[in-house]
Every structure is written in structure tokens, then in C-alpha cells.
A and B are shown apart, each in its own frame.
Chain A
Amino acid sequence: MREIMVRAMYCEMLGYDASFTYIHAIKLAQQGGLLEKRVGYLAVSLFLNEGHELLLLLVNTVLKDLQSTNLIEACMALTVVAQVFPKDMIPAVLPLVEDKLSHPKEIIRRKAVLALYKFYLIAPNQVQHIHAKFRKALCDKDPGVMTSSLHIYLQLIRSPDSYKDMTGSFVTILKQVVGGKLPLDFNYHSVPAPWLQIQLLRILSLLGKEDQSTSELMYEVLDESLRRAEMNHNITYAILYECVKAVYTIHPKAELLEKAARCIGNFVLSPKINLKYLGLKALTYVVQHDAKLALQHQMTIIECLDHSDFTIKRETLELLFRITNAQNVTVIVEKMLDFLRICNDEHTIIHLVGKVADYVPIKTLTFAPDNSWFIQTMNDVFSIGGDLLQQDVPNNFLRLLAEGSESKEEDDQLRLYAVDSYLTVLKGHTSHLPQCFLQVMSWVLGEYAHLQESVDQREVIRLLTQLLDQRSVSSETRVWILSALTKISEGQTDLILDLAESLSSSQDTVLRQQAQELRHLSQDSHKTSSKPLCKNVDSSLSFLDGFVSEALAAGAAPYKPPHQRQEELCEDRALNLEPYGFSLPVSLSSCSITDRQSPTLLSVSSGLSGNSTELSQKAGSSTLILEGVKRVWGKDGYLPQKEATAPPVDEPSAAVQPPSQQEAAERIEPRPDPSTQNQDKQQLASSLFVGLGVGSSMSLLGKSEAPPLRFRKKPRPHESSSSSSGTSERSSDSSSRSSRNTTDSFLYSSLLEEEPAASISAFDHTPKSTTANGLAQNKDTKEDRRANTSQILGGDMVIVRPSTIQDKHPPSVSSDLTALLPADLKDLPHSDVISLTSDPSLSLSSCRLFRDEALLPLVVTTEEYGKLWLSLSHDVKQNLKLLTDAGDPLRTTLNALKDALQLHVVDIIGSEGIVACRLLSGAPCLLHCRVNGTALAMWLRSPHPALPDCILYHCQRALAHH
């Protein structure tokens, strides 16, 4: 029987069905002697899975064996329990396994710990009570038991907060291990317990992540590990790698970082290919924190890019992907596409194409917008990726085209280029094109073919019709093409009628229906011209008011918006059910991390895949409406609008060149020139790593969130030096201006030009250093605010460009401040005059003038607020951080917001508060805040569709900076 079972196992492994032996395996485990039992258990664990019904027959045997005094029987039972055990039977064996934790034999204890870990993975709630025992296992006198308990902690510490207190013990354990305190049998190639070290390092890095105090505890031991691991064996490198990762994960310490960076160098330069791979992995991880490191190894990276090993190549691309910025994006994307062309692994293609596709639009819009490159790359992506692409890639692309950016000409140019390139593609050989590419093309042609005047619409129709006739085109694509034809059919009745005729006998009902519709539309031409009528969709549904009031009178429950209902439902649970977290402008890494964050705007184009003509027409009209609205949220979080395109006020537009060529040139020159390397690689390197070298501030530019941040930080040094003397200030200004040719410096320099002039005319005396500081501080805060305004305006409104100007005046004349303003500013609206200092020797006050648009407090009473609230249609909900450091968190938070954003706090009742503000142009925005646990549930309403989003974003920022 035993022999037969072994053979059955072998057959099963070879892929033959041996299910008839399953029951015998269980029997063998139940009845046989030790030898048989062992084979039986082994067969069971190979044959059966956790859900298999036969396992129930085994439970009793396992229970019996767990209680057995025979060591081997107990061991076998534990093994089988850890391998396969039905979830609902865990309570039955749990007490027995727990008892084993105090078994005298260490092997039993160890297996029991792992079995419990397995239970934890399967059913975490059933093992909650034994966490204390896990701790005991960690302190077990046998290192083996301790090692297995680390598995558990590695899992538990994924949510580290409740385990911070154990950092000390882990550090001590690692110290002892590294110090060689373990028995010699634990050495592997004379390294003390390497696997144990690796696990400990992982645990520590999880614990120390973003936690300075915890990290400080482990600096010493990490240093020690780095120092000790110097022997040339694989396993030491494994430890080193974990060390490096830990060093970069925890709160940074310069000294350790330096050592870790050197270690990475060893990895990358190693001739051993495995180590090189790990080095690349480490680099990929590290460039998020310090992009310059990649620069040191650029030649190696270039070599790896051409490496014959697929894995290495892929890892290199991953690395390049992380260091992409405005200047090297073209080269990197090209490399990726090259790789995709030769790659035939389906999974890799999906993975990479998704990345490229995610990336290209963002990069193009935030960096140098080069329409032709963008469209060409997307064409490549579509044709290579083909139908492996996830559906949201084409959808996002179409949305991008449809919504466009803030300037109409630019959008039209982009669309025009797309139309042109698609026409070229369609004129060529089309049968090999993937369906989703065809769909994209037909949509674009349908929407925008009219932009291209030089091409006859008939030609477009002819090309699309040709596509329809092709056999390889799927019926879904046909529907797309037909809706495109519907859109451009106006005036081409003869062609369309033929087409509709031929299709109305089609097998596909959807196609046939569309053909019918098409025919009717084209016969009755004013039906098509009625299209613009759908533009004015009454989003407040006011025509239903009468019905609603009748229903209410008849006793119906008043309508509650879905999120309110949802909130009421889950009030007691106090879970955060908000679907999306806002991506705060954080750091270099934000770009890749927040890739997947969903945009707040609805995906317009997804509606277009619908089947009927009406639907696509409706969607078409809704895109029309959206054209007026800016694209505020991208995949990357908040997309700062390119100030470059905003109408400049008093600066020649030459100052707002995108940061491309000049930086590139700067970068190439100072690079060390190892003469041994060949020229090509040098060139490639220069194009790949351009932009990284100038320093971290430069690479920050690659991130969309960077400009406001820089804007805020930079002025400080200049400002504090400025008040000492007028001339040096001027020179420093001009130098600072020339040193930065980014778009935001335009704003900054335009500020500087006005502000110093004002301040100097106001005070002729040379201030003491203290007052100078105060002045600089004040200016900073004002600039912050101004930065905010410019954000709000630039980011949101239709034609806004901030030009608020601040002036300072002695208090003696504050009664009539406006009289002192320059003549051209007098008539502009302004805010209240605020006194900025109480210093008797110096008094200054400021007010804000608004030229175009700004956020102002809206002073209303609670009743008015209530009325207004009901009348507003666009609303947004989000949970925000609550400032909890003061006694009354709600009030503190609202006051902070009030200070930062010029809001008016209308009322605070209990745990709720209402706040109001308005735009200078009049559009109000109402905010309703409620304390919800430790979060602030914010609910915004405004008649302006994009205003709530925008204000929410700034609230979030204001709170984050608080």
C-alpha cells in the first residue's frame, strides 16, 4: 500500500489523475504504522487542498496524533496542519497546537509556531487571543523557535503602529546575531544565521519607516551590520542588500546613507550578474530618495540596458522609468518601446505598456508639450500593446484629447495632429492594427475630423467605410466606426445613405439599429443640426421641482444625496469610505506612486463605448461642455496649470520658455568624461540622465507639484538680504531670475519687481536686522498667500491670472489707504487693511488688491447659508485631516483654514461647522464640516463645477502645511 501510494504521488505529479487514491491516502494516515502514516500524511498534503471534503475525515486523526506522545507523530500532524487544514476546523485543533508552544522539544515548538502563523493567515480573527504567546515564542531560549516567530512578526508589522515598542527587542536580537552570540551551528559559510538577519532587517525597516525616534534606535546596529557583512559570499550580499534597503527606508541618517550608497556601488559594479541585478533593484529603490545616485552609475546602467539578460534589461527600464523627467522622457520612452517590440512575454507587455501609456500623457502635459511626439508615441503604444492594453488606457487618452488643456489653440493643434496622423495610418495597411487602436482612431476622426480643413470629409468617410468592410474588424469596433460616421455625416447624404442601406441588412442588431438611425439622421438634416441644443443640460433638474414638491406634500421622504445616505448608514462604524485619497504634492516619488489615483472628473470617454447613436451624441455634447472647464486633476493628482500659457501681465513671454535646451546643455558639459567609454554610450547617457545632475532641485522640476513648492522656499534668502541695501537687492534679484528659467520664476520675478519698489518707497530708513527679519517673514507669508491665490486661480477659473498686489503703508495714513495706491490700482477691489507689525519703530500694514479673480470670505448668516446650500448643485465630499493639537480641534482646524484661504466661518454648532467663501466674480462656495472621529468630513457645494475640488485641494494643502 505504501509503495502504491508513493507511485500514485508520482503519477499525480506527472499530471495524471489519481483521485481514486485520495481516500486511501487518508485511510493510510489513519490506520497505518508510523511509516505508513507518514506516507499517508504526505500524500494527503500533496493531493488535497484546504477546501477538499475528504479532509474532514482526517480531522480526527490529526487530533489524535497531536496528542500523541510520539514525537514524530506530533511532528507529522503539525506539518499537515500547517499545509492543509479546513478553515472551519481550526477551533478544534487550536488549543492543542497552543499547548505545543510549551512543549519541551524545540522542533515541536517551532512547528507549532509556524502552524499558528498559518492559522493567522487563514483566519486572523481566531488567533487574536494568542498574540501574547507569539511574544513568548519570540523570547524562546531556542533561536530556532525565535526565528520561526519572526515570520509572524514580519506579517504583523505590516501595520506597524502597535509593535513600535518591540523595536528594542528586535534591535537587541539583531545585535546579538551580528555579534556572533549564536551557537556555531547557526553559521552558514561562517556568517551567523544569515536568514535570521535578513528577516530582522526587514522587520526593522518596516518599523522604522517614517518614524524618527524608532529609527534612531537602529542606526547603530545597521551600521554594525553594514560593517560586518564584508565577506565575499552570496549570503553576505543578501544581508547587505537588506541592510541598504533598510537604511533607505527608515528615517535617513547621512552617514549611513553614504555607506549604503557605497554598498550599492559594489553591487552594481560587481561582475556577478545576480549581484548586478540586485544592485539595479536597489538603485531603483533608492533613486526615489536620491536621484543623483543613478548618475554615478550611468555607464553601468547603459551597459545593462544592452545586456543579453531579459531580467536585467527589464529592471534597468524600471530604473529609468523612475528617473524620467522633462528632458529625458523622449529617450526613455523610446527605449521602452524598443524593448516592447522585441519582447514576447505577454505579461511584460501589459505591464510595461500600461506604464508607458500612463506616463506619456502626464509627462507630455507637465513637461515640454510636443504634440507630434505625443501622438506618435501613443500610436506606437496602441499598435504594440494592441488589445492587451487595459481598457482605461485608450479611455484616458481620449479623455485627454476631449478635455484638453486651458488653451484652445493648443488643444486644437493636438487634435489636428492626431487627425492627420490617423488619416495617414488609415491610408496604409490597416488589417494588422489592433481593435482598440482602430476604435481610438475612429473616435478621434469622428470628433475632430472637421478641424482639418484641407482634407475632404468625404475622404474621411471613405476611409472609415473601408474599415467597416474589413473582415478583421470586430463588431464592437464597427459600432465605434459607425458612430464616428454619424458624427461627420452632415452634408454627405449620398455616401451615408448607401452605407446605411448596406448595413441595415447586417446580422448584428446593434449595427443595424445604428444604421437605421444614421439613415434617418442624414435624411432629415435639421435633426443633426439640433445637436447644439443638448448643450444646455439642466444639471439642477429644476424642471422636476414641481413634481418633487408635490411628492413631498404627499408625504414622501425628502431626497438625500447618496453620500449622505451612505454616511448615515455607516456613521457608527466610523470607517473612511471615501473612495479616493487626495494625492498631496509630496515629493519626487509622488509621480510614480500616485499613478493609479483616480481622477475626480468622470471619465467622459468611457461613455462613448456605448452602443447607440444617441448615447454617443450625448457624450459628444458633454465633452463640448467640458471644454470650458480646466483639467484640474490628472492621474498624478493635482495638475498645476502651465503658467506659461496664462496671459502675461507685465513680463515678456520670452521669460517663460519651458526648461529644456538650456538645462540640457548645462548638464552635458560638466560631466566627467571617461575617455575609455565609447561615444554612443556617452551620448545615450547624456540624454538619459540629463536633468538629474544639476541637483535635486532640478529633478524636482520633473514633478508636477514642484513649482509651488520651490516658489515658496526660494524667496527667503533673497528677501532677507534684500532689505539691507537697494542695489544689492536688485542684483540678487536679477541673478536669481537668470538662474531660473522655469515658468514659476516668471511669477516670482514679476513679484519681486513690484514689491521691493513699494517697500523702499514706504520706508527710507535702514531697518535693524531684527526688523529686517520680520519684514522678510511677513513677505514670505504674503507670498505664500499669493502663491495660493495664483494656484486657485490658475488652476481653476477660466481666464484668471492672479495679479494681486500688496502695498505697505505707515499706519498714520491707514485711514485712507486706498488714496496712497497707485492710480491704476485705486479702483480695484481690495481686502481689509491688516496691520502686520506691532513694533513701535516700524509699522506696516497691507491690503490685497484683486485685479482679476480671487477667493474672498462670504459673509452670510446661518439662515442665508441654509438657503444657499439647497440652491447649489455641484458638490464634493472628502475627509480631511483634523488638527488635533488644541483643545477644540474643529475650531482650530477651521481657523487655520480661515487664515490660509480667506474663508468666512459662519457658525460652529457642536461637532459641525459651516464655512463660506466666494470668488471675486461672485460664485459662492459653501463648506460644511463635521468632525468624524479623527477626520474632518468636508462637504462642499458651489454653483461652479470645479470650484469645490479646487478649494478642497487648497484646504488639504493648508492643513498639511499647518
Chain B
Amino acid sequence: MIKAILIFNNHGKPRLSKFYEHYTEDTEQQIIRETFHLVSKRDENICNFLEGGLLIGGSDNKLIYRHYATLYFVFCVDSSESELGILDLIQVFVETLDKCFENVCELDLIFHVDKVHNILAEMVMGGMVLETNMSEIITQVEAQGKMEKSEAGIAGAPARAVSAVKNMNLPEMPKNINIGDISIKVPNLPSFK
């Protein structure tokens, strides 16, 4: 099964991390750092597999990674996954992201963390590969997005109306008070002295 999915940039800043097994906060950070350390040292023209080492659960595990422009996509898997299969799964994941964000870039991952996680959840569930079919993933994500929007439309309407009213009233009220206060206080000051 897949133990962890990490995305970080060329400087080792994590952009997405998803662990399917529990580690403490510190270990997770350490894993990210060490993985980056291992992966970033490697040239472009050598293979995309790394024996996991001590990071996650010992020698049974492998790191499978791909490097796209500024981002590293690293999957940490155990021996029950096929190496080349995972490599292509990364490809599918990236292509899906690309479709959903239209030319995905690092910033998309930063500003839409939740969306990326949702896409990932459609592909991998609890460490198991759920869906590998790109169009299917996109349909699911879009269907959910649509439903949420429509619900947000119905449920959000009264709230929006209220806030609109508030926004209309708010600017006037304080202005009057403030201006009144100031205008009152300022002329009085010299007269007291």
C-alpha cells in the first residue's frame, strides 16, 4: 500500500503531504526533510526509485518520485505496489491536477490545498489506489464541486442578503457618530482652557 504522498519544491518546502500511516508531527517533518535530501541529490538521468532506508518503516519500502519543473512528487510505497505502476500513477495525478487547474503550477497547490487533497482522495483512499482513470477522477471532482456550489447557492442566499444589508448600513452609522463626536469635542477644547 501507499504509505505517504509528498510534494515539495526544489528548495524542500513542502507543498502537500499526506500520510496514510500515523507518525508524530516531528517524524513527519523529518521524513519530508530526509526525503527531500535523498531525492534532490539525484541526477535527472538516473532511475526514479530509491530504497526507502530508515525513513518509513524500514527496508521494505521504496520511494518513487518524479520531478516536474519546480516540484517533486514522491510516493512512498511498500513492496506490494508495482514500481512502474506507481510511476504512472504519479503521471496520472499530475495530469489530473493539470486538467483541474488548467496549467497547474506551484501556486495552485499552495492556494488550493483542499482541492488538491480532494483530488488525491479520489485517487488514493486510505493508502489504496482507488481510481486510476483520469476522466473518472475529474468527473467525480467536478460533480462534487458542482453540488457544493449549488448547495452553497441555496444555503448561502439569506446570509448574503443579510450581509448586503449590513454593508449598506455600516458605512453611514459610524461616520455620523464619529463626525459628531469630533465636531463637538474639538470646538469645546479651547473654551475650557
Q: What residues of chain A have their CB less than 8 Å away from a CB belonging to chain B?
A: 6, 9-10, 12-15, 17, 33-35, 38-39, 42, 46, 49-51, 70-72, 75, 79, 82-83, 107, 110-111, 114-115, 117-118, 144, 148, 151, 154, 185-186, 188, 194-195, 198, 202, 234-235, 237-238, 241-242, 273-274, 276-278, 307-309, 311-312, 314, 345-348, 351
Q: Which of B80, B92, B121, B151 touches A154 (beta carbons < 8 Å)?
A: B80
Task: Name the 3 nearest CB pairs between A and B, nearest first.
Answer: A238-B84, A82-B126, A309-B46
Tell me whether B114 and A39 are in contact (CB under 8 A): yes
Tell me whether B88 and A194 are in contact (CB under 8 A): yes
Q: Which residues of A contact B50 (CB under 8 A)?
A: 311
Tell me whether A111 and B130 are in contact (CB under 8 A): yes
Docked pose: A202 CA to B18 CA in angstroms? 26
CB distance from A283 to the nearest CB of B (A): 15
Docked pose: A259 CA to B69 CA in angstroms? 39
Tell me whether B88 and A235 are in contact (CB under 8 A): yes
Q: Which residues of A contact B9 (CB under 8 A)?
A: none
Q: Chain B: interface residue count, which band?
A: 35 or more
Docked pose: A345 CA to B126 CA in angstroms? 30
CB distance from A442 to the nearest CB of B (A): 31
Tell me whether B118 and A277 are in contact (CB under 8 A): no
Tell me whether A114 and B47 are in contact (CB under 8 A): no
Docked pose: A33 CA to B156 CA in angstroms? 9
Tell me whether B131 and A144 are in contact (CB under 8 A): yes
Q: Which residues of B contact A118 (CB under 8 A)?
A: 126, 128
Q: Which residues of B contact A346 (CB under 8 A)?
A: 53-54
Q: Which of A33, A39, A50 touches B155 (beta carbons < 8 Å)?
A: A33
Docked pose: A70 CA to B155 CA in angstroms? 15
Docked pose: A794 CA to B54 CA in angstroms? 44
Q: Which residue of B lies closest to A73 (CB)?
A: B147
Given A34-B147, A238-B82, check contact A274 B48 (CB 8 Å).
yes
Indicate whether B163 reaches chain A with its CB closer than 8 angstroms: no
Q: A46-B18, A309-B46 are in contact. List 10 more A-B contacts (CB 8 A).
A: A34-B151, A42-B114, A42-B118, A49-B22, A185-B136, A235-B84, A238-B83, A238-B87, A278-B84, A308-B43
Tell me whether A114 and B84 are in contact (CB under 8 A): no
Q: Which residue of B lies closest to A17 (CB)?
A: B25
Q: Which of B43, B114, B129 touches A195 (beta carbons < 8 Å)?
A: B129
Indicate whether B51 reaches chain A with its CB closer than 8 angstroms: yes
Given A13-B17, A15-B29, A82-B126, check contact A241 B59 (CB 8 Å).
no
Tell me whether B53 and A348 are in contact (CB under 8 A): yes
Q: Which of B28, B92, B113, B147 touches A10 (beta carbons < 8 Å)?
A: B113
Docked pose: A276 CA to B17 CA in angstroms? 30
Q: What residues of chain B have their CB less than 8 Å away from a CB belonging to chain A?
A: 13-14, 16-18, 20, 22, 25, 28-29, 42-43, 45-51, 53-54, 59, 80, 82-85, 87-89, 92, 110, 113-114, 117-118, 121, 125-126, 128-133, 135-136, 140, 144, 147-148, 151-152, 155-156
Q: Which residue of A lies closest to B59 (CB)?
A: A351
Which residue of A50, A274, A351 has the most chain B CB atoms within 10 A of its CB atom?
A: A274
Q: Which residue of B lies closest to A52 (CB)?
A: B22
Docked pose: A127 CA to B128 CA in angstroms? 18
Tell me whether B147 and A347 are in contact (CB under 8 A): no
Q: Which residues of B contact A114 (CB under 8 A)?
A: 125-126, 128, 130
Docked pose: A677 CA to B82 CA in angstroms? 34
Given A238-B83, A274-B87, A345-B53, check contact A111 B125 (CB 8 Å).
yes
Tell me whether B88 and A347 are in contact (CB under 8 A): no
CB distance from B63 to the nearest CB of A (A): 10
Q: Which residues of B contact A347 (CB under 8 A)?
A: 53-54, 59
CB distance from B178 to the nearest CB of A (A): 30
CB distance from B7 to the nearest CB of A (A): 10
Q: Which of A70, A79, A274 touches B49 (beta carbons < 8 Å)?
A: A274
A sample of 25 inter-chain contacts (CB < 8 A) reads A15-B14, A17-B25, A34-B147, A38-B118, A42-B118, A46-B117, A50-B22, A71-B147, A118-B126, A185-B135, A195-B82, A234-B87, A238-B82, A238-B83, A274-B49, A274-B84, A276-B47, A277-B49, A308-B46, A311-B46, A311-B49, A312-B47, A345-B53, A348-B51, A348-B53
Q: Which of B18, B47, B80, B132 touches A277 (beta carbons < 8 Å)?
A: B47
Q: Which residues of A contact B88 (CB under 8 A)?
A: 188, 194, 234-235, 238
Given A114-B130, A117-B128, A188-B132, check contact A10 B46 (CB 8 Å).
no
Q: Which of B46, B84, B110, B113 touches A273 (beta carbons < 8 Å)?
A: B46
Which residue of A111, A307, A346 has the most chain B CB atoms within 10 A of its CB atom?
A: A111
Q: Which residue of A lies closest to B126 (CB)?
A: A82
Q: Which residues of A contact B45 (CB under 8 A)?
A: 273
Q: Which residue of A lies closest to B121 (CB)?
A: A79
Docked pose: A346 CA to B152 CA in angstroms? 53
